[in-house]
Amino acid sequence: MAASDALVAAARAAFDRAIADYSHFKVGAALETADRRIITGCNIENASYGLTMCAERVAMFKALSEGHRVFQRIVIVADTHTPTPPCGACRQILWEFAGDVEVVLANLTGVAATHMMRDLLPHAFDRKFLG
């Protein structure tokens, strides 16, 4: 199922709210819940880079904190020509809490690529390994 225009627009709006004063690499994300609600996130940087939070994790943590537990897809927007996939930490969080969802990569003008999480994080580590 293709990402809706509203979901892509929400990710672009989140991109505009990103705080990327150090890297100048803004990212916006829009996570669609099972009941078609849209939860957004943007990357938020600070002087201690290790405390920076990615857009995908902001969106997921907001959604979880609001009680959402089932997700359909996430749209990730960056101002790049080449599709920008989630970092390793975001892939782990997305797999853990959303499972094999659709991941739509877009830029400021259009959708560039679509993947399933299983393809972005093959051989994922999750609760099944914890006994």
Which residues span the domain enclosing 89? 5-130
Domain count, the chain: 1
One of 32, 56, 66, 102 is an active-site residue; which one? 56
Cα four-point dihedral sign 34, 17, 104, 50: negative
Does 56 participate in catalysis according to the annotation?
yes
Which positions ≥6 away from 29 have C-beta within 8 Å? 11, 14, 40, 41, 42, 55, 56, 58, 59, 74, 75, 76, 77
* Residuewise pLDDT in 10s, the chain (131 residues): 567 899 999 999 999 999 999 999 999 999 999 999 999 999 999 999 999 999 999 999 999 999 999 999 999 999 999 999 999 999 999 999 999 999 999 999 999 999 999 999 999 998 889 98
- The CATH number that applies at residue 100 is 3.40.140.10
Is the overall model pTM greater than 0.75, yes or no? yes
88 Cα distance to chain centroid: 12
